[in-house]
Structure 1
Amino acid sequence: MSYLEKLLEGVEVEWSVLGNENYVQIANSGRKPVEASLRIIGEIPYYGANNIQDYVEGFTHDGEYILIAEDGSKNIENYSIQYAVGKFWANNHVHVIRGVNNLSTKFLYHYLQIVKFIPFLTGGGRAKLTKGKLVEILIPIPPLSVQAEIVRILDTFTELTAELTAELTAELTARKKQYNYYREQLLMVNDKGLMNNEKVEWKTLGEVGEYSRKRVSSSSIDKSNYVGVDNLLQNRAGKTDSNYVPTEGNLTGYSIGDVLIGNIRPYLKKIWHSDRSGGTNGDVLVIHLISRELDPKFLYQVLADNRFFEYNMQHAKGAKMPRGNKDKILEYRFPVPSLEEQARIVSILDKFDTLTTSISEGLPKEIELRKKQYEYYRDRLLTFKVSEPGFSQD
C-alpha cells in the first residue's frame, strides 16, 4: 500500500457547500473597484478576475483568502482561482472567501482547482459565477490533520516548480545577456576602423537591402506564416503562431532569409529572421537583402544589435505609440567585413542562439512536466467519494 493510500485509508469525509458559514466565510462586502486613473500607486496588490492588475495604496482585505473569478475568467475550463496572503485590494470581479473552523483555506484552494465551474456559470459571452451559484458548490472536509498533510504534499510540488522556473529563467537571462554582449563585441569597430582586426566597409541598409515589394494573397496565409506585431515576440525572441489570420485581400509578402521588424514601439525589440515564406501587414517591416556582399544571417545580427534599436528609437515618430521612421531606417549605417569574417561571426553567434533557443524551448516543457506531476497527485489526494449525494446546506 502506497503512502497516499495509507493517508486516505478509512478517512471520514464530511461534505458541505461553500455557502455553509460553519466552514466558509464569504468576504465580498469589502470589495471595491477603482478605475485605473483613480488608483494611487503603492505596494499593495490590486486583484482582478485573473491576476494582479496593479499595485496601490490601501487595502480591502488582510489575511489568507481565496479569490474566485465572478466574471471575466480567461478560461472557463480552467477557472481562475487565486490565493492571496496579507494585505490586498480586491475589485468586484472576484469572490473573496476563506476557510474557517475545521476547514483549511489552503486545502480549500487546492480543492477548488479540480472543481468544474461550468455548470455553475450563467450568461453567454462573459460567463458569470453569481454568489447564488457560488454557495451551491460542494466541498469535502476531511480531518484537519489530513488536510494539512495534503497541503504539505501539494505545496512541495508547487515550490519545486517555482524553484525550477526561477533557476531556468535565471539561466536563460544569463545566456541572453551573454549572447547580446558577444554580438555587440563582435560587431564593434575600434578607433582604428577595424572590426576584429579586419578592415571594413561602411554601408547603409538601403544600399544592401530594400523593403519587400512582394504581394501575397490572404488565401495562402495561415496562423503559422502570418506575422503581425502581436505575434512577434519582445527582446529578439522571434515569433509565435498568430491568433489572427486575414481572410481577404493581399498582404506584404516575405521570403526565407528576410528580416521582419516590428515597427510599432521599436524599444520592444521585436525582430525575426524568417525561415519560411508568408505575409504580414503595414506594422511590420520586411527587409529583403539585395546585395551579395552580405550574409543574410549577418544582416540579421546587425539589425538585432542594440545599436540599431537605439538608432531606430532616436528617429521614431510619435510619443505614446512611437513608430519607426522607414526612410531613416534605410539610412542606418553599419560596418561590413569580408564574407569570410561575416561567416565566422555568424558561426559564433549561432552557437549562442542555439543554446538560448534550447533553454527557451526546454523551460515550458519542464514547467509542464512539473505541472502534470502536481495535477496527478492533486487529483489522487482530493478525489473523495461523495457519501451524501443529496446533501443540502445545513
Structure 2
Amino acid sequence: MNGLSYLEKLLDGAEVEWMSLGDIGNFIRGNGLQKKDFAESGFPAIHYGQIYTMYGLQAEKTFSYVSPELANKLRKAQKNDLLLATTSENDEDVVKPLAWLGDKTAISGDMMLFRHGQNVKYLAHFFQSEIFQTQKIKYITGAKVRRVSSRDLAKIIIPIPCPDNPAKSLAIQSEIVRILDTFTALTTELTTELTTELTMRKKQYNHYRDLLLSFEEGEVEWKTLGEIAKIQRGASPRPIAQYMTEADDGIPWIKIGDTSPGSKYINGTAQKVTPDGAKKSRILNPGDFVISNSMSFGRPYILSITGAIHDGWASISDFSERLDSDYLYHYLSSQRVKNYWGSKINSGSVSNLNADIIKTLPLPLPDIQKQKWIATLLDKFDTLTSSISEGIPREIELRQKQYEYYRDLLFSFPKPEATSN
C-alpha cells in the first residue's frame, strides 16, 4: 500500500485541517475512585492503572465495579469518550489511550476523558502515533511520576479531514480506523497462533524427553546421584565485598543472576572474587554442574568456565565415566526430577533444595552409548523449541512495526507551514 497516494485517493480533494485537541473537544478529569472501592458487582468502573495492565486500545465492558452509592459521586465516561491515563513512571506510557465503546462507566483520578465529536478509535490510534508522541514529550512534567496536564494536552494538534463536513470527515476517519484495526487484528491473530504453536512444541518436547528417560523395572541399573557424583553446597566468603575484585587474576564469581533464561550453560560472570576469596568458596571447573537451591529450585546449568560459586547454588562434580553430562542435564530437567524435588521441598521439614536431598536423587544408568543417543535426540528437540521461542518475539515485533509504520503514514497529512514544527 502506497500510503501517500492512498491518502490522496481517500480524501478525494477534501482538505485536512490540523486542529488543536482543545478546539475539537473537552478534557474532563476523573475523581475519587480507588482500587479498594471495587465491588464484585454494581456500577461499571475503571481505575487508571487498569488502562496499562488490563485494556488494549478499545473496550466496551469493564473488569471492575463500584457500589451505586459511590458511582453517584464519581465522574462518568460515556460511549465514544477517549479515556486517558495521565500519570505513569515512564514517558512512553503516560497518556495511554482507551477508546470507550460501552455504556456509562465511572473513572478514577489520575485519568481523564476526552469528549469530542470524532471517531474515538481514530483518536486512539493517533494518540499512539509518532506524531502525537513527539508533541506529547514537550509537555511531560514530574520526576518519578510523569504526567501531562489537560491544559497542555489541549495544545496538541491532530489532523481532521474536512472538518466543515462532519459526515464525510467521520467516513474518512472510519476508513483509516478499518485499515489500522486490520493490522492490529492480524498481529493479535499471529501472536495467538505462534504462542499456541510454541506451547504445543514445548509439550511435545517434554513428552518425548520424559518418555526417553523412563525405563522399565530391571531395564537399567539405578544409583543415587550421591553415589556417582560429588555434591556440595556453594559458599560465599564473608564479608563478600572484601573479596570482590576487577583484577586480571580474579576468579569468576558465579551467581544466580549470571544465568540466561532457557540457557543450558553458564558462559561468563558479571563479577570476580580474589584468589583468597575463591579459596573460601567452592571452585568448579568446565563441565561441572550447578543447580539452584532456592529461587527456581532445581534448575540445572553446565559450566563452561572455571569459577567460584555463590551459596545460592549446589554443585555436582566428579561424576564417574559412566555418566554423560548432557544426559544428566536432560534428566535433571525432566518432570520426574522436578516432581521429586517438589516432594522433598514441600514435605515441611526443609525449605530449600540442599545437598543432602540432591544426593538422594534416584538416577537411571543405561550404558554410556545409550545415554549419548538419548541426549543427542533431546538436544535436537531442545534446539528446535528454542529456535521457535526466539523467532516468535521477532516475528511479532515485525508485525507490530508494520502496524506502526502504516499508522504513522496514515496520519502524515501535510501540515501548513505555521504548524509544521
| Common topology (TM > 0.5) | yes
Matched residue, 1:13: 16
Matched residue, 2:187: 161
Instruction: Give 1:346 deviation, angstroms.
Output: 0.6
Q: Deviations over 1:127-165 (max 9, x none)?
A: 222333333322222222221121111111111111111
How far, CA to CA, are the matches of 1:134 and 1:322 in structure 2? 53
1:83 aligns with 2:83: no
How far, CA to CA, are the matches of 1:97 and 1:318 in structure 2? 53
* Contact 1:193–1:200 (CA under 8 A) maintained in structure 2: yes
1:238 aligns with 2:266: no
Larger radius of gyration, structure 1 or 2?
Answer: 2
Letter of the 1:193 counterpart: G
How far, CA to CA, are the matches of 2:180 and 2:204 in structure 1? 36
SS of 2:224 mapped into structure 1: strand
Matched residue, 1:301: 330
TM-score by length of 2: 0.72
Q: Deviations over 1:159-189 (max 9, x none)?
A: 1111111111111100100111111111113
* Contact 1:211–1:287 (CA under 8 A) maintained in structure 2: yes
- 1:228 counterpart (240, 244, 256): 256
Summarize the alignment of residues 1-394 of structure 1 with structure 2, pairs less than 5 Å apart: 2=2, 4-8=4-8, 10-20=13-23, 22-24=24-26, 26-30=27-31, 32-35=33-36, 48=49, 51-52=52-53, 57-58=64-65, 63=79, 66-74=82-90, 76-77=91-92, 81-83=96-98, 85=100, 86=102, 91-93=108-110, 95-98=111-114, 100-101=116-117, 103-113=118-128, 114=130, 115-116=133-134, 117-142=136-161, 143-190=169-216, 192-194=217-219, 199-205=220-226, 207-211=228-232, 219=246, 228=256, 233=261, 237-238=262-263, 256-266=286-296, 270-274=299-303, 281-288=310-317, 290-316=319-345, 323-387=352-416, 389=418
Change beyond 3 A, Cα 1:282–1:119 = farther
Change beyond 3 A, Cα 1:390–1:53 = closer
Change beyond 3 A, Cα 1:343–1:231 = closer
How far, CA to CA, are the matches of 1:385 and 1:378 in structure 2? 15
* Aligned residue pair count: 370
How far, CA to CA, are the matches of 2:323 and 2:342 in structure 1? 25
How far, CA to CA, are the matches of 1:327 and 1:45 in structure 2? 52
SS of 2:155 mapped into structure 1: coil
Q: Deviations over 1:189-216 (max 9, x none)?
A: 32x332xxxx223222464243476989
Change beyond 3 A, Cα 1:3–1:217 = closer
Instruction: Give 1:368 deviation, angstroms.
Output: 1.7
Instruction: Give 1:53 deviation, angstroms.
Output: 6.2
Flag structure 2 segments of 5+ consecutive residues without an equivalent.
56-61, 67-75, 162-168, 237-242
How far, CA to CA, are the matches of 2:365 and 2:30 in structure 1? 66
Change beyond 3 A, Cα 1:365–1:126 = same
* Contact 2:84–2:97 (CA under 8 A) maintained in structure 1: yes
How far, CA to CA, are the matches of 1:67 and 1:285 in structure 2? 52
Instruction: Give 1:304 deviation, angstroms.
Output: 0.7
Flag structure 1 segments of 5+ consecutive residues without an equivalent.
none
